[in-house]
Amino acid sequence: MALPPNVTEAEFSAALSEFASAVGAEWVFSSDEDVALYRDSYSIYWDEPEERVASAAVAPADVEQVQQIVRVANKYRIPLYPISTGRNLTYGGSAPNLSGSVVVDLKRMNRVLEVDEDRHFALVEPGVSYYDLYQHIQERGLKVMLDVPDPGWGSPVGNSLDRGVGFTMAPFRDHFGAHCGMEVVTPEGEVLRTGNGALPGSESWQDYRYGVGPMVDGLFAQSNFGIVTKMGFWLMPMPETYLTGTVTVPRYRDFDSLVKEVSYLEDSFLIGMPAFGSPAAAGGFGGGSPAFASLMQNGWPSVEQLEQFVSTQGRPAWSVDLRFYGPEEVVRASWESAKRRFRDRVPGAAFQDGDLWRLPLSPEAQATSVLKPQLGIPALEIFDMVARNANTIDDPWEGHADFFAFLPRKADAVHNAARVMFETYTEMGVPPLHHPFSTPVNFYSRAFIVVTFIPTWRDPARNAQSRELFSKILDRCAENGWGSYRTSPAFQDQLVSKYSYNDNALLRFQEKLKDGIDPNGIISPGRYGIWPAGMRSGRA
Amino acid sequence: MRKTTSILVPMLTAACSLAVGQTAPSADKGKVIYDRWCTPCHGAVAPPENRFGGDGLPGTSALRFKYQGRLPELLEERTDLVPEFIRAVVRGGFFGMPITRKTEISDAELEDIIAYLTTNSD
């Protein structure tokens, strides 16, 4: 039996027994076979000594049981690691930061407590998945649209607490930003509610999130200051229609103008999440034209070479798919005004009208739709990326570790980040994914992300290579001032160490909070670099 | 098409090893659980394209690439699935398909899924 650090077998057995008294013996998992189910399927340390593994798991059914678990953990100094649905794959899944932790599996707390279609919010428990919430809304015909991550089998609570993202309008696809009100079990076992939830008799817990005084909700995201047991989310009213349209611009240099105009539309709340592309370089390294391969054979080309390449392709350099939500009259007018603005600002801009969909989609249309995430419909189709696919027929991945370089919305920043990725891959002898036509995503409406996908395996030697590549990309990006929004426990200390302004003042402040709020250091030790006082000696 | 005449065989086989108080695995229940947990990747109805070179749901597409027509890409049409293999994949993960915990699919529910997926087994 694995043990938590600095806990004797007798103490651990006593703790497990008390956990069983709290939740029922059937909901305490301590056999090797059961504990193995909490491994991170995508671990980049699979089967190596550094793999983070649990000692046991306990699955409470309600907030009172969570409180009891926390009290027992304090009594025996047992580190806990709460998960909601445990589907945070690529970012650690259901495995803890600290080996030997007891996973608090909140999957059984799966009640949709409220969905209000007039005030447009939901209140849910941690075990509710996006599928569950979607089904609840569908069955009742409620006129609200979810904003879902892709894949969509995680939970609104867990996804937002790791600052997950979606695909619709800016205020909703920032999932933590769209939350309103939390219930939290503190590390000492008290229950607190944030915002107007702290006001007895308030009916506006999910309407006004600040309450009075300091807003502490942020302490519970990517952190270890408590266990969130309820959370409210603002939802978009179900739009009447969804309209798409594509803009293309002819020259390589036009990306700058394209970005500025898309940012205007985004920040004016006229469009949902845009999707950039490059028709000229379609396929890139994964299947581009011979001319593209020739362009890249001597390394990163000059702008003049890139313009020359584009001019010979007969296709525009860049494209962006714009997505409009709202009444038909409004979305059609928005698209027409967008065309006018692009036409006025980018010589040679061209337009392709897309389809108009009336919402909600029929069940039949949903099943065959390629638009699921954009329309708030949970799906798992993105797993095609990691499952055996056309690019990996003979050598499928086991998982992936992604690095998201966060950038200002500037053309130069995108090209620079792509070049840093390209050069790092090339230096390591790994076929690069990025090239001068790489495009950003902007899950967060005010930032661009250049993302790279690195495979994980069940083979230590191959994982070592993936780790070296990931680590090097993280270092190189940080040298350029580019962080990332989220990463697995394997890289959290390294990532956090980059946010070092003024001698790590931010982390030191967080550690002071940790010492005061969680004096025994029982909640998720090490999560996002925040270790209890007795475990800090090795940090950067 | 699914065969229905052989449903009783795996159910009776499983029932022989039931402890007191347990109910026999149910292929009907298994289908409900399968539809909820498995069809989003292993189902038949899919968009006409996806983003990484396949043309169906990822589990279905992956098995099409793997078997190249030698075996059905839909698990529900397979006749060679055995309980041990299904348990191992669900509980151990397999090429991108992650581990499924007992708080998600209980052991009893897994036996229901097995009853459903082995309905066609030889």
Residue tagged 């069955």 (tokens): A139
Strand partners, A116: A121
The helix/strand count (H/E) of chain A reads as 15, 17
Strand partners, A297: none
- The pLDDT tens digits for A270-300 are 999 999 999 999 989 888 899 999 999 999 9
- Closest chain A residue to B39, measured at CA: A380
Per-residue pLDDT at A360 exceeds 90: yes
Instruction: Write down the pLDDT at residue B50.
Output: 56
The residues, ordered by sequence, that sit 6+ positions from A13 with a Cβ below 8 Å of its Cβ are none
Per-residue pLDDT at B53 exceeds 60: no
Per-residue pLDDT at B3 exceeds 50: no
Instruction: Write down the pLDDT at residue B17.
Output: 47
Kindly state the percentage of chain B with pLDDT values over 70: 73
Judge: B51–A384 Cβ closer than 8 Å, yes or no.
yes
All residues of chain B having their beta carbon less than 8 Å from the beta carbon of residue A41 are: 93, 97-99
CB A137 within 8 A of CB A146: yes
Nearest-angstrom CA–CA distance, A371 and A244: 11
Burial class (CB in 10 A: 0-12, 13-18, 19+), A140: exposed
Determine the residue among A37, A91, A138 to mutate to test chain B binding: the one whose Cβ has the most chain B Cβ atoms within 10 Å: A37
Per-residue pLDDT at A377 exceeds 90: yes
Q: Does A396 touch chain B (CB under 8 A)?
A: yes
Instruction: Write down the pLDDT at residue A409.
Output: 98
Determine the residue among B95, B100, B110 to mutate to test chain A binding: the one whose Cβ has the most chain A Cβ atoms within 10 Å: B95
CB A181 within 8 A of CB A123: yes
Per-residue pLDDT at A526 exceeds 50: yes
Contacts 24+ apart (CB under 8 A), B108-112: B108/B22, B108/B23, B108/B25, B109/B29, B109/B30, B109/B33, B110/B86, B111/B14, B111/B25, B111/B30, B111/B83, B112/B25, B112/B26, B112/B27, B112/B29, B112/B30, B112/B33
Instruction: Write down the pLDDT at residue B15.
Output: 39
- Closest chain B residue to A105, measured at CA: B103
- The pLDDT tens digits for A404-416 are 999 999 999 999 9
By Cβ distance, the residue of A57, A87, A397 closest to B96 is A397
Mean pLDDT of the residues in chain A: 96
Judge: B101–A388 Cβ closer than 8 Å, yes or no.
no
Sequence letter at residue A141: G
Per-residue pLDDT at B9 exceeds 50: no
Hey, what are A103's tokens? 């996973």
Q: Does A383 touch chain B (CB under 8 A)?
A: yes
What's the ipTM? 0.94
Mean pLDDT of A293-318: 96
- The pLDDT tens digits for A444-461 are 999 999 999 999 999 999
- The pLDDT tens digits for A57-82 are 999 999 999 999 999 999 999 999 99
Per-residue pLDDT at A480 exceeds 60: yes
Q: Which H/E stretch holds residue A179?
A: strand A179-185
The residues, ordered by sequence, that sit 6+ positions from A39 with a Cβ below 8 Å of its Cβ are A46, A51, A53, A93, A94, A95, B99
Judge: A86–B102 Cβ closer than 8 Å, yes or no.
no
- The pLDDT tens digits for A216-226 are 999 999 999 99
- The pLDDT tens digits for A343-359 are 999 999 999 999 999 99
Nearest-angstrom CA–CA distance, A213 and A195: 9
Determine the residue among A155, A388, A453 to mutate to test chain B binding: the one whose Cβ has the most chain B Cβ atoms within 10 Å: A388
**Centroid of chain to Cα A59:** 24
Mean pLDDT of B60-78: 94
Identify the band that residue A382 occupies on the pLDDT scale cut at 50, 70 and 90.
confident
Instruction: Write down the pLDDT at residue A381.
Output: 86
Annotated catalytic residue A91: yes
Mean pLDDT of B55-64: 87
Query: Could you tell me if residue A116 is left (phi over 0), alpha (psi between -120 and 50 degrees) or otherwise beta?
Result: beta
Active-site residue identified among A91, A130, A131, A252: A91
- Show the DSSP H helices in A368-485 as ranges: 411-427, 460-479
Instruction: Write down the pLDDT at residue A113.
Output: 98
Per-residue pLDDT at B1 exceeds 70: no
Mean pLDDT of A223-241: 98
Is A372 or A192 the better-scoring residue by pLDDT? A192
Kindly state the percentage of chain A with pLDDT values over 70: 99
Instruction: Write down the pLDDT at residue B12.
Output: 38
By Cβ distance, the residue of A87, A94, A384 closest to B52 is A384
Nearest-angstrom CA–CA distance, B82 and A78: 40
Judge: B41–A387 Cβ closer than 8 Å, yes or no.
yes
- Closest chain A residue to B103, measured at CA: A107
Per-residue pLDDT at A422 exceeds 50: yes
Instruction: Write down the pLDDT at residue A367.
Output: 76
Q: Which H/E stretch holds residue A263?
A: helix A255-267
- The pLDDT tens digits for A10-38 are 999 999 999 999 999 999 999 999 999 99
Annotated catalytic residue A486: yes
Kindly state the percentage of chain A with pLDDT values over 90: 93
Identify the band that residue A210 occupies on the pLDDT scale cut at 50, 70 and 90.
very high
Q: Does B108 touch chain A (CB under 8 A)?
A: no
